[in-house]
Structure 1
Amino acid sequence: MFALMSRAVNTSENVSETTRSEIQTFIKKVIQANINAKGYSEEEMVSRAQAFYSRMDGKEEPAYPLLKKYCGEFTALATAMRMASANLTILEFLKKLIHAEAGKHNAFVKNYIDELIARANPMEKAVYDEIRYNELIIRYQGEVEVAKEKFAAEQTHDASELCLIAEIIDWVFTADEKEVNGQSRLNMFALTREIHEKAINNHTAAYRAIDKIHLPITIGEYTTTADFSNEASEQQKVEQFFAAKRDNSLTQVKNWPAYVGFALGIAAAIASPLTSLSLLVVTLIGAGFGVVTLLKNKADRKQILLDYDNSISMTMDVLRHLFEEYGTYLAEYYEYDRYTEQIAAEFAQL
């Protein structure tokens, strides 16, 4: 009844804004009262609907091999993409639900009125209860106590303050489309429109809140939290990292041992004519050690510079391609995110 009232009020051109507002306020109060009947809250109903919408996301992992290989938070990026991709499925769901065949509307109203007319009055209900009780006795082959227990459970379910709104939410998503009138689903959806709208907004806020800009990356020995909004800055960080590593390695190459060797050789050379041949050998060894050390240090410095050039070139190349792939990822993500505008437009038609 409230669903029909809500739809009629929203679509009628003969209802003033004041009247429309008053009726909608009344319906909202009734809905809220039902939600609170068993200690539920609107937030719980929103979460209930949100869970259904969240299950509409894509199940396949986005194909971004470089991000997967080098980004430590690729799982978060994949989650954001899957959740955003759900917008397309959500939009299709809303379109199919909201644009139910207009021709079915009159049939739905007629069936609804017929159901009200056919609903049992208190005296008829007592008779029906007696019939149901006897049916249970027959089903359980004369086990009266079992039949009483089952009958009492059914009566408790019927008479209790069920959270009707929770059941409506579940029904909108789980009802068999082949067996349920599209207009019926639409009216139940319209009745709980605000809950569905908040649920989708929460879904959107959840994936938008995932940090897709500042991401940890590891390229070989280089590790940092990259700012994917500033490629130039990240390139500079790479240069600084390897320049510091190069300079540190170069400082480890020491020439002073060679100079010590030369000094010993010179001292031995001066003393050797006055003493023995052994000092001449020391002279040769000291000079040789100095020469070999200087040559080795030169080769080591050359290798350090070569390693620096190779490392920074490789890291820069990966970083450049990583930013390119990230740009592709972001374009796809925003393409899905823009469906929220169409989703909002569908709600505006209710």
Structure 2
Amino acid sequence: MTELPHQGADNVILPKAVHRSALDSAQATLTSEATGLAALQEALATPGSMGSAFTEAVALIEATTGRVVVSGIGKSGHIGRKIQATLASTGTSAIFVHPAEAAHGDLGMIESRDVMLLLSQSGETSELAALLEHAARHALPVIGITASRSSTLARASSVVLCLPRASEACPMGLAPTTSTIMQLALGDALAIALLERRGFTANDFSAFHPGGSLGALLRPVRRLMHEGAAMPLGTADMSLSNVIIEMTRKAFGCIGIVDESGVLVGLVSDGDLRPALNRDLNMTRAGEIMNRAPITTHGDVLAQEVIHLMTAGRKAISSLFVLDETRRPIGIIHLHDLLRTGIA
């Protein structure tokens, strides 16, 4: 953070007010923050700079058998809470401990197997003192995120992620803006690096995000499909009149055609049926008009992939059969089912 110039012992000279349009202000803010992120990226890429410390921090967290205890005060605390949430949702066990509460009993939440991740732009945040003393007393490793390598936090840290110097977007250099964006980006980088090293998958992500549209996107389709008697099924020798009855009764806009062993061999959709309506509906058989290579899916495929299957082609598919490993239908999914869950 930029320090204000002083005049004498008591008089502080404030920077002159900046007068510009809202859009000019927004552009200047984004430019400042982008410059900070570019400096952070360069620091990570420079040999002997932050890159080696970052690698060490990732290895330290990966090796711990406990949790990542994240803490910070003020804006750094808000950023710390987001970093903790991102870590926890991507497979790294993490908790946030408020530094003021830590000094009043919450130190008991911290275990000997944990590693601390402490944030302070200046590195001199007095509220972190209790956490640093606790870490020293119990030999807990500390990863410090700060902009001052000579600060108290940096000196007490096992690994220092020292942010490069960058100007705050605030024209007075007071409001934490660029600095907090850099902290947040560095936390995201840690979380994603750990995610990749652990081989964290979309299915793992789903286990931590069961609610809302995101949770629905990550559900396997077997949890959304209609099963058993709800499936519209028939045989190749079924008359079109009976095909129409079954399609109308089940209301999926299609019927799956199976052979004598229950294997799906084709599909008749509304689109296949319409051109055949001028035929004798009692004499024409489903096998004569069915699509012999319908698009299908499997039960473990995620809902987001099913949406892609149903909408990626030139013509959207309203219903999709779900097959087992022997190509027997075990369910059917309709686009409306996805709409109801908020996925599409």
TM-score, length of structure 1 as denominator length:
0.27
Higher RCO (CA < 8 A, seq sep 6+)? 1
* TM-score calculated relative to the size of structure 2: 0.27
Higher strand share: 2
Structure with more helix by fraction: 1
Larger Rg: 1
